[in-house]
């Protein structure tokens, strides 16, 4: 009976925390919506002209396939930001409307609406677009080019802080693993698009916070992951959302690697953490659709669920079924650096990558470390995501591939900390004898 009331008390605490976070998220959106349009007019105009200097999609480096920059989504985000109505802040925040003309590109639509003060013509209510909380105030001071530069500095600083803290807490080996992981996802291109930036920033912040909490003796991370999942849904544009779950979780597993007991027990703990993140993530989506439906007096679930079904469909271009799902996997893997530098050998490189994973599984199969199996599960989560959301992962592989930071990081951790050294030595001796 006591255990029942204890669990009920915890669930109530988490529910209240989620409601509180949701209220904060709404207040923040309404607060920035109150900012008068005139206050961002000049910088918005400069931003619109700047975005029209290039096409909505372009390569920062023509020799690197991972350098594809998305200014299409950025133009929409600025368009929504521009049309927030200070006279009706709540309803405009919920509708997320913007000016759209099907005959023009989104950067041209942005320029047209800023120069002609047009009314919005299309709703984008299924997302929270919480990144506007940062973008609209920043546009009072900077144009989009300057915001890109600011994001560059911020990502560099946070990445360095994370690496430094990892070095102090975990040692040099894990720090190198993380650094290689950053390189594998070509993190240097991330600040060039707002769409790419938000989950990377959130992942860096939550990872730093996670390590600090671990150092202070924190053991229960359910509330942490609940809030992280909610925040991810709030600011993300469906890009690399799993990073905010997988990287902090892998850091927790690594921190307790020598204390892990049985695989079953530790898996249950990870499942609880992942469930908290998923509940926070999913409930935040549902809360947006619910609030938007109530405030706008229209059924916003129809469009949202239709889009969700489309993104999870197994049809895109001329591909369908398993062919599309496997193509989504391969296209994402081929974008990893240095694979991304070779345009014609993606299939071979993907085969090489899968071979490496198989070799790692073989080398750790006799290891007593529970950590290995947990990190391996974390490492394959991005591919489960690509498989389920095959349409989205195939079409947008040029940014969804960065979710594999968790894969590269975890596989390297396994090799460094969890590989069976005796087995490796034995296999190397066999190879030497064959020669």
For the residues 23-34, what does the mean pLDDT come to? 96
Structure-token pair, residue 361: 């599984």
> What is the distance between the alpha carbons of residues 209 and 207, in angstroms, rounded to a whole number?
5
Tally the domains of the chain: 1
80 neighbors 109 (Cβ within 8 angstroms)? no
Query: Looking at the domain assignment, is residue 344 inside a domain?
Result: no
- Residue-wise pLDDT for 30-53, tens only, equals 999 999 999 999 999 999 999 999
Identify the CA nearest to 161 among candidates 203, 99, 102, 129. Answer: 203
Residues in the chain: 435
Query: Looking at the domain assignment, is residue 325 inside a domain?
Result: no
Query: Looking at the domain assignment, is residue 171 inside a domain?
Result: no
- Residue-wise pLDDT for 392-414, tens only, equals 999 999 999 999 999 999 989 98
> What is the distance between the alpha carbons of residues 289 and 125, in angstroms, rounded to a whole number?
7
Confidence grade of residue 312 (pLDDT, cut at 50, 70, 90): confident
**Residue 1 confidence (pLDDT):** 38
32 neighbors 132 (Cβ within 8 angstroms)? yes
Cα diameter, the chain: 79
Is the dihedral angle over the CA atoms 315, 317, 320, 325 positive or is it negative? negative
Query: Looking at the domain assignment, is residue 3 inside a domain?
Result: no
Q: How far apart are the first and last CA of the chain?
A: 67
- Residue written as token pair 């961002």: 40
| pLDDT of 253 higher than 60 | yes
Q: Residue 122 has what DSSP assignment?
A: B
**Residue 414 confidence (pLDDT):** 87
Q: SS3 breakdown of the chain: % helix, strand, coil, rounded to 5?
A: 75, 5, 25
Query: Looking at the domain assignment, is residue 241 inside a domain?
Result: no
Structure-token pair, residue 390: 């095959």
Using CB atoms within 10 A of its CB, is residue 166 exposed (0-12), middle (13-18) or buried (19+)?
Answer: buried
> DSSP E strands: which ranges in 203-335?
315-316, 319-320
Query: Looking at the domain assignment, is residue 359 inside a domain?
Result: no
Query: Looking at the domain assignment, is residue 96 inside a domain?
Result: yes
> What is the distance between the alpha carbons of residues 145 and 133, in angstroms, rounded to a whole number?
18
**Residue 415 confidence (pLDDT):** 82
Query: Looking at the domain assignment, is residue 290 inside a domain?
Result: no
The model's pTM: 0.91
71 to 43, 52, 105, 123: CA distances (angstroms): 17, 9, 10, 19
> What is the distance between the alpha carbons of residues 244 and 233, in angstroms, rounded to a whole number?
10
C-alpha dihedral, 102 to 76 to 400 to 202, nearest 10° = -170
User: Can you give the residue range of the structural domain that contains 111?
Assistant: 31-142
**Residue 81 confidence (pLDDT):** 97
For the residues 264-276, what does the mean pLDDT come to? 90
**Residue 3 confidence (pLDDT):** 45
């Amino acid at each position: 009976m006591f255990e029942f009331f204890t669990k009920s008390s915890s669930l109530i605490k988490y529910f209240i925390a989620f409601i509180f976070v949701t209220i904060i998220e709404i207040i923040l959106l309404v607060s920035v919506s109150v900012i008068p349009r005139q206050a961002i007019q000049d910088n918005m105009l400069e931003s619109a002209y700047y975005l029209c200097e290039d096409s909505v999609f372009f390569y920062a480096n023509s020799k690197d396939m991972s350098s594809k920059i998305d200014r299409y989504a950025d133009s929409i985000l600025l368009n929504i930001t521009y049309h927030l109505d200070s006279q009706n802040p709540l309803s405009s925040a919920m509708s997320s409307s913007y000016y759209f003309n099907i005959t023009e590109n989104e950067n041209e639509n942005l320029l047209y609406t800023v120069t002609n003060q047009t009314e919005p013509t299309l709703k984008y209510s299924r997302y929270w677009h919480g990144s506007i909380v940062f973008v609209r105030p920043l546009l009072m001071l900077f144009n989009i080019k300057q915001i890109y530069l600011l994001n560059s500095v911020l990502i560099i600083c946070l990445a360095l802080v994370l690496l430094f803290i990892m070095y102090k807490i975990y040692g040099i080996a894990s720090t190198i693993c993380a650094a290689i992981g950053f390189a594998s996802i070509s993190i240097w291109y991330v600040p060039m698009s707002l769409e790419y930036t938000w989950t990377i920033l959130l992942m860096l912040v939550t990872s730093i916070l996670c390590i600090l909490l671990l150092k202070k003796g924190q053991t229960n991370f359910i509330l942490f992951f609940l809030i992280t999942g909610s925040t991810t849904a709030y600011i993300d544009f469906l890009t690399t959302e799993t990073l905010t779950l997988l990287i902090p979780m892998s850091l927790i597993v690594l921190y307790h690697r020598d204390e892990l007991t049985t695989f079953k027990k530790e898996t249950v703990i990870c499942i609880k953490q992942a469930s908290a993140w998923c509940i926070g993530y999913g409930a935040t989506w549902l809360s947006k659709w619910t609030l938007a439906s109530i405030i706008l007096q229209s059924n916003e679930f129809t469009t949202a669920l239709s889009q969700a079904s489309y993104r999870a469909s197994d049809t895109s271009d001329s591909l369908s079924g398993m062919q599309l799902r496997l193509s989504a996997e391969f296209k994402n893997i081929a974008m990893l650096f240095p694979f991304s530098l070779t345009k014609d050998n993606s299939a071979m490189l993907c085969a090489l990558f899968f071979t490496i994973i198989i070799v790692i599984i073989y080398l750790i199969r006799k290891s007593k470390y529970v950590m290995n199996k947990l990190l391996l599960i974390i490492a394959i989560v991005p591919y489960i995501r690509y498989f389920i959301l095959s349409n989205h992962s195939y079409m947008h592989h040029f940014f969804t591939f960065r979710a594999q930071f968790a894969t590269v990081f975890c596989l390297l951790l396994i090799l460094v900390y969890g590989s069976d050294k005796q087995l490796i030595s034995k296999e190397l001796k066999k190879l030497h004898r064959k020669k």
